[in-house]
Amino acid sequence: MPSRGVKEDLGRLTFELDGVIGTICRLVESLNDVRSELNFLRQSMDDAAHHGQERLYFREHHKKVRLLDDLMYYLMNDLSPVGDKAYELHASIFELVRKIGETGIDSKPGSGGVSK
């Protein structure tokens, strides 16, 4: 049976990981929205090119490209550190579980939850 310290460590790490995963899911949903908008823009640009109306739609297309580029920039800036944090949490949980398997559980709270 896991000690109180181990339970607290795992609880804290999994709670934090749950929040990070929620953020990643929200950002991925936004990236899918941007991808969809890029698809619509591409179709509009293809249609304009097919009808020889590239100049007529240039400003509209350029405005959408700038907007989507800015969205991608901010989404990726938000996603990169969250992905790094998710990896750190994953590694911490993995290491804690590995140590438990190798050395057993330390019953002292605040000692990291594992025997040294």
Residues forming a β-bridge with 105: 114
DSSP-based three-state secondary structure for 80: helix
Q: pLDDT 10s digit of each residue in the chain, 116 long?
A: 456 788 788 889 999 999 999 999 999 999 999 999 999 999 999 999 999 999 999 999 999 999 999 999 999 999 999 999 999 999 999 988 888 887 776 545 455 544 43
| C-alpha torsion 31→34→39→42, nearest 10 | -130
Q: Which residue has the tokens 């019953």?
A: 107
CA gap 30, 78 in Å, rounded: 11
State the pTM of this model. Answer: 0.71
CA gap 41, 49 in Å, rounded: 12
Per-residue model confidence (pLDDT) at position 113: 47
